A and B are shown apart, each in its own frame.
Chain A
């Protein structure tokens, strides 16, 4: 199997380990990821706040490149990139005005996009293309007894829910169940907001949201929280000391990109998965699962 791959801007900075572990995990599954040539930022939530059509058009430049590269699918790892790119497709399909404007803008730079490149979240590919059974067969390091809290975040299946339930997604639960983990299915905070970019602009509001998430994870005795978005991961992991200071708590819960934990189960080298680059040490997770 082979997929065109869109890493997203965070993959080159704070989310480097998400990129590295996605590649290593996919390699273990025999899936080849080919990076999209000269991709640009999807625009995230910022571009939508200035001009909506700009946002669709710059996102569509990536889809146009995918089309030029002769592919009709694009694998995306970041929730925000995923939603922005998929939303571009949807609005181009629903609104002829958007379609025309995007075509015009792309035409101005010698590109065109027909609207037919399917945007796929990496979890979607794992569950629906690779398949849980095939994944389970490849597991070399079962996550037996590990209490995993799957944290999906906002833009995983909201607003579109193309491959999972909009309100109660379960695809990551199924993935880690197949790997032998003790998945916390009742972790009901799994789609609650982490505060996103507000950690820098309204710290009080974002810390409160992170605090609630960490309280829920502890309540369910999670050994590790796994995330599918670089921003969720950063907020939940990097700001634990600030949460502790603000709320008088003592959280020190490992937070991993879900691809790091899945990569471990599939036998990838922890170094390759960049597990040593986490802010909160994951040594307890490594120690808990038999080599």
Chain B
């Protein structure tokens, strides 16, 4: 499916995952998963995933979390939280998916064909720049850099939204833009200090 990582890289991913998950509130509950599969059965997109949510936990136990980090699974999670509210063991599976997204972005391991990491980046860029997400700017960047077919598919909708005033071209900047930057810089420095 995807090329394999070296053993040391795989081990590092495993270690990062364990450390981060155990640091989450009720993260240790991952250990009491009984593989019932309620999560996968509740997931609206599991049918497309390389590994369903149940298999994500199974893979972790088998020491193969590196395969999940590189899979399409995590980018198909819409954060609907069905798995989380239905898990009989109280495992916060959506939070595990977020952790895996962070790892895939950090180690640059997301599958090349997945467009979600780019969307995530453009969203955050827009918020950093304006303090709020400027939808039009984010979409324009996404279309220009990631998917040229979108304007052709959605021009009618775009036109309708534009004429209805639902796609303002100018962004509103908040006064405290620099605060968001400083908040991120502070947390980044703290993280670096801890390592």
- Check B174 against A105 for contact (C-beta < 8 Å): no
- Check B123 against A13 for contact (C-beta < 8 Å): no
Known A-B contacts A13-B168, A51-B187, A201-B119; A91 and B94 likewise in contact (beta carbons under 8 Å): no
- Check B44 against A209 for contact (C-beta < 8 Å): yes
With CB as the reference atom, state the residue of chain B lying closest to A7.
Answer: B132
Instruction: Quote the shortest CB–CB distance from B131 to chain A (angstroms).
Output: 5
Q: Residues of B contacting A104 with CB < 8 Å?
A: 186, 190
- Check A201 against B114 for contact (C-beta < 8 Å): yes
A95 at interface (Cβ–Cβ under 8 A)?
A: yes
- Check B183 against A159 for contact (C-beta < 8 Å): no
User: In the bound complex, how far is the Cα of B38 from the Cα of A99, in angstroms?
Assistant: 32
- Check A197 against B175 for contact (C-beta < 8 Å): no
B147 at interface (Cβ–Cβ under 8 A)?
A: yes
- Check B79 against A108 for contact (C-beta < 8 Å): no
A52 at interface (Cβ–Cβ under 8 A)?
A: yes
A147 at interface (Cβ–Cβ under 8 A)?
A: no
Q: Residues of A contacting B185 with CB < 8 Å?
A: 108
CB under 8 Å from chain B, chain A span 47-93: 47-54, 57-58, 61, 83, 91
Q: Residues of A contacting B85 with CB < 8 Å?
A: 158-159, 161, 166-167
- Check A58 against B180 for contact (C-beta < 8 Å): yes
With CB as the reference atom, state the residue of chain B lying closest to A80.
Answer: B79
- Check A40 against B82 for contact (C-beta < 8 Å): no
User: In the bound complex, how far is the Cα of B81 from the Cα of A83, in angstroms?
Assistant: 11
- Check B182 against A108 for contact (C-beta < 8 Å): yes
B4 at interface (Cβ–Cβ under 8 A)?
A: no
- Check A155 against B81 for contact (C-beta < 8 Å): yes
A106 at interface (Cβ–Cβ under 8 A)?
A: yes
- Check B161 against A14 for contact (C-beta < 8 Å): yes
- Check A154 against B79 for contact (C-beta < 8 Å): yes
Q: Residues of A contacting B8 with CB < 8 Å?
A: none
- Check B79 against A196 for contact (C-beta < 8 Å): yes
User: In the bound complex, how far is the Cα of B193 from the Cα of A101, in angstroms?
Assistant: 13
With CB as the reference atom, state the residue of chain B lying closest to A14.
Answer: B166
- Check A105 against B183 for contact (C-beta < 8 Å): yes
- Check B82 against A105 for contact (C-beta < 8 Å): no
User: What are some 7 contacts across the A-B interface (CB < 8 A)?
Assistant: A10-B135, A13-B135, A43-B127, A46-B120, A155-B79, A159-B92, A197-B119
Q: Which residues of B contact A (CB under 8 A)?
A: 23-25, 44-45, 48, 75-76, 78-82, 84-86, 92, 94, 98-99, 101-102, 105, 114-117, 119-120, 123-124, 127, 131-136, 139, 142, 147, 150, 153-154, 156-157, 160-161, 164-168, 172, 174-176, 179-180, 182-188, 190-191
